[in-house]
Amino acid sequence: MNRLQILLSLMLLVACGASTGKEQVAKAEKVQEKPVVVEPDVVVPIFDADSAYSFIEAQVNFGPRVPSTVSHRRCGDYLVSKLESYGATVVTQDVDFKAYNGDILNARNIIAQFQPEKQQRVMLCAHWDTRPWADSDPDKANHYKPLPGANDGGSGVGVLLEIARHLATVNPNVGVDIILFDAEDYGLHENDSHLWKKHRHSWALGSQYWSINPHVPGYTARFGILLDIVGAPDSRFMYEGYSTRFAEEHVHKVWQCAGKLGYDNYFVNEEGGVITDDHYYVNSILGLPCIDIINCDPESPNGFGPYHHTMKDDMEWIDRNTLKAVGQTVMTVIYNEK
């Protein structure tokens, strides 16, 4: 979605998704970290970045995953089948949303439950749909074309599929729910930015729905981790504002873990702005503390990289080293939960 640099009161700040319905307010202050223990006797599986890369490539090969399209349906079927093959109990939420412009979106939230019998749980999530319009593309001829969505959409899902592959064989101490939210990226077109006040919640429709209607009545988890735009080379993941507001201890836990693993060049100890992403609704509606790992660049024109919401968002912008840093960090956090 178009990065609308709009300043509202404390509760309304837009998000990191120029075309993703994400908008940011940037800061760059050092933050005091809190200690976290990564237990030396815990065996954590080795995250395979090549495998995660192949999962992203498989999604991109379906074509743009825009709700109500054939490529979207086929990719959704693939994701369900893949998660089931890893032994997860998979449920879906099939919902028809009405987009801000009147389009009807045949959407599907995909929920994979590992060790569903366990009461103590952790939630991992990403959005699996792609932006229907490359409205940040430098070529205006592309502004109403769907984009490949390798990084914005594909990368988070690819990392979670690789984690799911390990959950199939090595059980952590907690149950894990992997939720793939749909219809995150169908928010306001850049040309419709004047409608922002009326349609500021046109993004993240799948997570809004799930937060009101979780797959398990009364669902709760210790915390959640959202992965969004986590594949670009030399990514820098800074502390996101809603994450620290709603789930500060879990932000510190994840960033400290990354530092212990040697990934502090990716997970930097700085505030990176406030982003309205899927985690905002998980926090504000359901009350489940959820953090956002998202690559934002406060100094860039759109708050993200040059690929963002453009036709350049293809496999050329997926880097295995970044996938490894994110995936290994998240797995280490999960497997160290008592």
Rounded average pLDDT over 227-255: 97
Lowest mean pLDDT among 21-35, 44-58, 232-246: 21-35
Predicted confidence at residue 22, as pLDDT, reads 53
Q: Is 63's pLDDT higher than 50?
A: yes
Q: Is 5's pLDDT higher than 60?
A: no
Round the average pLDDT of the chain to a whole number and report it: 90
Rounded average pLDDT over 300-310: 87
Predicted confidence at residue 40, as pLDDT, reads 66
Cα separation, 227 vs 279, in Å, equals 9
Q: Is 16's pLDDT higher than 80?
A: no
Higher pLDDT among residues 252 and 1, named by residue: 252
Q: Is 143's pLDDT higher than 50?
A: yes
Predicted confidence at residue 39, as pLDDT, reads 65
Q: Which residue has the tokens 């836990």?
A: 253
Predicted confidence at residue 184, as pLDDT, reads 98
Top CATH class of 18-335 equals alpha beta
Q: Is 12's pLDDT higher than 80?
A: no
* pLDDT band, very low/low/confident/very high, at 239 (cuts 50, 70, 90): very high
